[in-house]
Homo-oligomer: A and B are copies of this chain.
């Protein structure tokens, strides 16, 4: 018997994304073996996040403050807003550190299969932010999937009357990629969107 408490913990961990029962067992065993070094710091970090992290009421980011540090920063451009699918995409953009504007987290993309309709996404809030008049450009940084592109088309149709400039991320061959390994759709798209040097 591995104890009721251990079983309960394994069950919770097994339900986390990318994990299953087998990896949950390995993780719990690792935590039990490294109680001082890993388990206690993990509990402390989780408790810190649970107590202090809020959803930003403006953009949907997670931060200790609401409005978040991006929304409230004096140094960031308030005329551009980048629409992303999820907070992880916002984090990815921030890791690059190149973009200096605002964000808007949509909370997903439209999907007939998963039953995600426009009401399920954070679209009304985006429209009300645009209505304030400070934003002049909306960058749609949504995934290059069918659902992502359907969402782009839907958002373009909703936003075109606001008069703001709407852009999307460039698509093509990623940096460092070999043509041999690219799918045909990407190669075709890269040829169609070729640039003169």
| Beta-carbon contact of B9 and A46 below 8 Å | yes
| Beta-carbon contact of A3 and B63 below 8 Å | yes
| Beta-carbon contact of A86 and B29 below 8 Å | yes
Is there a chain B Cβ closer than 8 Å to A1's Cβ? yes
| Beta-carbon contact of B1 and A69 below 8 Å | yes
Interface residues of A in 16-48 (CB under 8 A from B): 16-19, 23, 25-32, 35, 38-43, 45-48
Is there a chain B Cβ closer than 8 Å to A187's Cβ? no
A residues at B contact (CB < 8 Å) = 1-3, 5-6, 8-9, 12-13, 15-19, 23, 25-32, 35, 38-43, 45-50, 52-53, 61-64, 68-70, 86-88, 90-91, 94
